[in-house]
Structure 1
Amino acid sequence: MSGADDEDEVLRWIERVATFCVEEWALPPITGRILGLLMICDPPEQSAGRIAETIRASRASLTSNMRFLAAIGLVRKVRVPGDRTTYYRIEDDAWHKVIQRKLDGLGAFGDIADEGAHLVGGSGPRTGRIRAAQQSLTWLRDIAARHPPKP
């Protein structure tokens, strides 16, 4: 397989990551492309210019998305002594952070559901709908708690 074929396969995989991020988490495609690239690139640290070039994004769009990913703790800036270029890399525990945020959200829904059930009187069809959602989300949270990711 030639280098161009390898690069095309990598770009297709990055696009699959982007599509997943769009469909599952409603992230902009560029955010998913950045995550995909930073998972598969070698070396793991990449400059903004190289990222933009590889995923064919504007520097302005890239900058705002990198800022977002850094703010939520999935990507971090890396400095190399003697080099004025800023590099970026995906955090080693990025996916654990994503899943933990989802689990925290599921737990927070329990409080909202309790408040809703109390608001509608604690019984009847409205409470049943609220409790069904709460039980499903609690079930998922509990499964994840029993089977934490391995480092």
Structure 2
Amino acid sequence: MKELGAAEHRFIESMGLYFERQGGTRIGGRIYALLMLAGEPLSNKRIAELLKVSAASVSTNLRACAELDLVEPASVPGDRQHYYVIHSQGWEGKLRVVEDSLSAFARICADALTVPQLAGNRHLREASAFCDFYRNELSGIAERWRAARAPRPPRPARTSKGRTT
């Protein structure tokens, strides 16, 4: 990847701030944004150079991003360095992370509701109901996404008289 221009820097910094607001790290967001723009595997060393941060910080944040299924290792034939790309599962992987997190939260609430002293708690019941509702809403999103992204069959060619061939 070539050096970054002003537009790329703005995007990368915006993503870093977004990640930070979401409870992640700014450098993690910057790495993710850089890999989104790269279109090719980048080594730890190259990421550090482009972002002007330490290799140790890149390594730490790449591990965290990999644990969240945001990035994944990639290999470059003939090169022994560690390379990374955006996770191949793409946005469906992000949806699974949300679903897994929601399911874990729902289990905690459901377990608490089985305890007699907590069974009548309005907040726990509401949280549990919300989780059920949200999971039902999420269930079809991946399928609709795949359908929207599926290649469409080519349209028949039209003649100069407006007829299809």
Note whether the superposition's TM-score is higher than 0.5.
yes
Q: TM-score range by the shorter chain?
A: 0.7 to 0.9
Report the TM-score, using the length of structure 1 for normalisation. 0.80
AA aligned to 1:39 is: M
Q: Does the 8 Å CA contact 1:75/1:94 hold for their aligned counterparts?
A: no
The alignment's TM-score, normalised by the length of structure 2, stands at 0.74
SS at match of 1:89: strand
1:139: how far off?
A: 1.7
Aligned position for 2:15: 17
Q: Quote the sequence identity (%).
A: 28
Q: Aligned to 1:85, what secondary structure does the other structure show?
A: strand
**Residue 82 (structure 1) shift:** 2.2
Match for residue 33 of structure 1? 30
Cα shift at 1:70: 3.0
**1:121–1:54 distance in 2 versus 1, CA, 3 Å:** closer
SS in 1 for 2:77: coil
The structure carrying a bigger helix percent of its residues is: 1
Select the residue among 126, 130, 139 that pairs with 1:145: 139
| Unaligned ranges ≥5, structure 2 | 150-165
Q: Does 2:49 correspond to 1:53? A: yes
Task: From 42, 63, 68, give the equivalent of 2:64.
Answer: 68
Q: Where in structure 2 are the equivalents of 1:44-123 lying within 5 Å? A: 44-119=40-115, 120=117, 122-123=119-120
Q: 1:10 & 1:85 partners in 2: Cα distance?
A: 25
